[in-house]
Chain A
Amino acid sequence: MSEANLTMTEHAAGLMEGSPFAIPSKKLAMWLFIISDTMTFAACLVAYGFLRNGTPDWPRPFHSVINVAFMTLILITSSLTMLIAVRAAQTGDKSKAFRWILVTAAAGAVFALLHIREWLALIDEGVRLFQNPWGSGLFGAAFFSVTGLHLLHVSAGVVALIVVGLRYQYGRYNADHLEVTGLYWHFVDIVWMFVVPMVYLLSIAR
């Protein structure tokens, strides 16, 4: 065998190497993204917890968490609708999958609107990044950072769902793409499960 052939063979063997963890590359990439994003959110929540715990006059501005409860209901329900969309796509029911993707995106949009409404209410009460009428000025920075990062993820998720849904509808994407997008959407849901107790439930006005 010539040296050139040997090099080609070795190169080809490299190309045919199996994917790590034996899952498709785009799914692995999404898992790696989720893992790295987990670190980001963990850092933010730890920073919030640190400040919350180390500051005696931490404000407790949430008189009612009905809005948050409703937002939680919407986000968890949107995870279910995402699953329905993915299952429909895997069985080849394109129109049903697209319909449920849109339902999921709509739920995400409603969640984002409720979140923005809550922000506006707090801003109206005088909460700013480094000052508020009740106590430690760090509350605003910590609150808006944590919830803002999550809101950014939800908003990006809504856009991604619409784009992927449309591309799936027009045949450019397949069920695999919906599944990978679904992973991201479930992750956003999981993060919210930690944001609610840390940020809201521990700061209910008493």
Chain B
Amino acid sequence: MNTGEQQKGGLGTDIIVYLCLLALSALQFIQAYSGGTGRGLAARLLIVAAVQALIAVLFFMHLRSERRSLVTFVTIFALFVLATMNYGWPDSFRLLGGAPFAK
């Protein structure tokens, strides 16, 4: 399995990654309290969350040490999920605005 010699970096790297994740979480809270609303705030918060997830997957779950084929598989799937997540939201904006079908 992916034993110690295969996993790049040591505990020092883990602690740096941990601090980065905490900093990004703090950034999310600051953004939320800074007064933004609506789509802009949601987009900013989700971008930070996506960056956090990417860092955690690469460093905590050691995906960067895995075979390229697995990395490709997971990447394609993640992009697919992100794409499908964005598929549903435009319709909720239509509900909010009552357009175009309500007209």
Q: Which A residues fall within an 8 A CB radius of B?
A: 21-24, 27, 31, 35, 38-39, 42, 45-47, 49-54, 56, 65, 69, 72-73, 76-77, 79-80, 83-84, 87, 90-91, 175-176, 179, 182-183, 186-187, 189-190, 193-194, 196-198, 201-202, 204
Chain B interface category by residue count: 35 or more
Query: How far, in whole Å, are A17 and B19 apart by their CA atoms in the complex?
Result: 42
Which secondary structure characterizes the binding site on chain A? Answer: helix
**Interface membership of chain B positions 35-58, coded 1 if the CB is closer than 8 angstroms to chain A and 0 otherwise:** 000000110011011001100110
Known A-B contacts A27-B2, A56-B96, A73-B22; A50 and B88 likewise in contact (beta carbons under 8 Å) = yes
B12 CB, min distance to chain A CBs, angstroms: 11
Which residues in chain B, 45-100, are within 8 Å of chain A measured between CB atoms? 45-46, 48-49, 52-53, 56-57, 60-61, 66-67, 69-70, 73-74, 77-78, 81, 84-85, 88-89, 91-93, 95-96
Residue of B nearest to A41 (CB): B81
Do residues A202 and B41 form an inter-chain contact, with CB atoms below 8 A? yes
Q: Write out the residue numbers on chain A whose beta carbons fall within 8 Å of the beta carbon of B49.
A: 193-194, 196-197
- On chain B, the residues within 8 Å of A51 by CB distance are 92
Interface residues of B (CB under 8 A from A): 1-4, 7, 10-11, 14-15, 18, 21-22, 25, 28-29, 31-33, 41-42, 45-46, 48-49, 52-53, 56-57, 60-61, 66-67, 69-70, 73-74, 77-78, 81, 84-85, 88-89, 91-93, 95-96
B66 to chain A, nearest CB (A): 7
The B contact surface, by secondary structure, is: helix
Interchain CB contact under 8 A, B11 and A87: yes
Question: Which residues on A sit within 8 Å (CB–CB) of B91?
Answer: 50, 54
Give 15 A-B contacts (CB < 8 Å), ordered by A residue.
A27-B2, A39-B81, A42-B81, A53-B93, A54-B96, A72-B25, A76-B18, A176-B1, A179-B1, A186-B61, A193-B25, A194-B53, A196-B25, A201-B31, A202-B32
Give min CB distance, A102 to chain B, whole Å: 18
Name the CB-closest residue of A to B93: A53
Task: Give the residue name and chain of the A residue nearest to B32 (CB).
Answer: A201
Tell me how many residue pairs across A and B have CB atoms closer than 8 Å.
Answer: 138
Within 8 Å by CB of B2, from A79, A179, A189, A196, lies: A179
Contact among A56, A80, A190, A198 for B18, CB-based, below 8 A: A80
B60 is contacted by which of A21, A35, A83, A91 (Cβ under 8 Å)? A83
